[in-house]
Amino acid sequence: MTVLEAREVVSGYGEVEILHGVSIRVEEEEIVTIIGPNGAGKSTLLKTVFGLLPCKRGKVFFGGEDVTGQSPQVMARKGVCYVPQSDNVFPSLTVQENLEMGAFIRRDDYRPKIEEVLALFPDVLERRHTRAGKLSGGQRQMLALARALMLDPRILLLDEPSASLAPNMVDLVFTKILDINRSGVAIVMVEQNARESLNLSHRGYVLAMGQNRLEGSGESLLNNEEMGKAYLGG
């Protein structure tokens, strides 16, 4: 079953149109990676799907329901959570408080969920009363993922989860993403580390100039000749 679908989406910042009709779909329990050169519109696509940017034309569906133009709050309530590329934690709040803010719209007792989420990230668990601003880059990224899990999402939108991380942290973050996916959460991520992220993805999309360029399974994209030349550095 399709969890999320963007159909012929046109969007951008103000007057500037960046996406000229992009379509993607994410099936249940899938990991989908979106790659493409700078300015291709990858992040714009995630922001438009999540309602952070207005969708000028086209449609967004979540679980078959038309959610085009819904606010981020509504999307989060429905089960779509988004992790921005940078500034994705509250630096002056403790780890614990960051997670409480992740659960802000939950009406039930979310304390067990905090324990459950922290158990996934032992590094961060140890520092639960530390201010997030004092965490390392990798720990911050873990906390950002943990925060997004507080609402039991059906799908996570990740904007460059491995950006500006040390190589060993990149592997760790990807391992965690795989763990999260195995627990039944669909994932769509935008990545610069094309090779590594396609390796663990079920499918991938290549965007260029605000349009769909290629599409296929992770493996087929890795072996694609055009891909190799243009985006994987030979």
Partner 1 sequence: MVRPIAGAAQLVERARHFFSSLPDTVIATAVWLLFAALVIWAVTSEAQLVVVGIIVGSILALGAIGLTLIYGIMKFANFAHGDTMMLGAYVAFFFLTGQVARDATEDAELPWSIGSLPGALEPIGKLTFGYGLIIGTVVAAMVIALLLVALNRLVYRPLRQRGSGIVVFAVASLGLAMATRALMLIIWGPDPRVYVSGIHMADKYDLGFTTITLKADQIFMFAVAVVLTALVYLLLFRTKLGKAMRAVTDNPDLARVSGIDTERVFTWTWVIGGALVAVAGVLLALQAQLNPNLGFVLLLPLFAATILGGIGSPQGALAGAMIVGISQEVSVGIDLSIGGADILPLAPAYKFSVAVVIMIFMLLLRPQGLFGAKA
User: Which residues contribute to the site for partner 1 (CB under 8 A)?
Assistant: 50, 52, 72-73, 76-77, 82, 84, 87-93, 97, 100-102, 104-105, 133, 147, 151
Q: C-beta of 177: minimal distance to partner 1 in Å?
A: 18
Q: C-beta of 93: minimal distance to partner 1 in Å?
A: 6
| CA-to-CA dists, residue 142 to 39, 77, 100, 184, 205, angstroms | 26, 22, 15, 18, 25
Nearer to partner 1 by C-beta: 94 or 224?
94
User: 182: which residues sit within 8 A by CB, 6+ positions away?
Assistant: none
Q: Indicate the helix (H) or strand (E) that contains 216.
A: strand 211-217
d(CA 206, CA 218): 11
**Please, what is the angle between helix 95-102 and helix 111-120, to 10°?**
120
3-state secondary structure of 203: strand
Nearer to partner 1 by C-beta: 76 or 214?
76
Nearer to partner 1 by C-beta: 84 or 138?
84
User: 96: which residues sit within 8 A by CB, 6+ positions away?
Assistant: 114, 128, 129
Confirm if 177 and 158 have CB atoms less than 8 A apart.
Answer: yes
Q: C-beta of 90: minimal distance to partner 1 in Å?
A: 4
Nearer to partner 1 by C-beta: 72 or 216?
72
d(CA 221, CA 226): 9
Q: C-beta of 57: minimal distance to partner 1 in Å?
A: 23
Q: C-beta of 56: minimal distance to partner 1 in Å?
A: 18
Q: C-beta of 89: minimal distance to partner 1 in Å?
A: 7
- Alpha-helix residue ranges (DSSP H) falling in 79-232: 95-102, 111-120, 122-125, 137-149, 167-182, 194-200, 218-223, 225-230
Nearer to partner 1 by C-beta: 151 or 180?
151
Nearer to partner 1 by C-beta: 56 or 77?
77
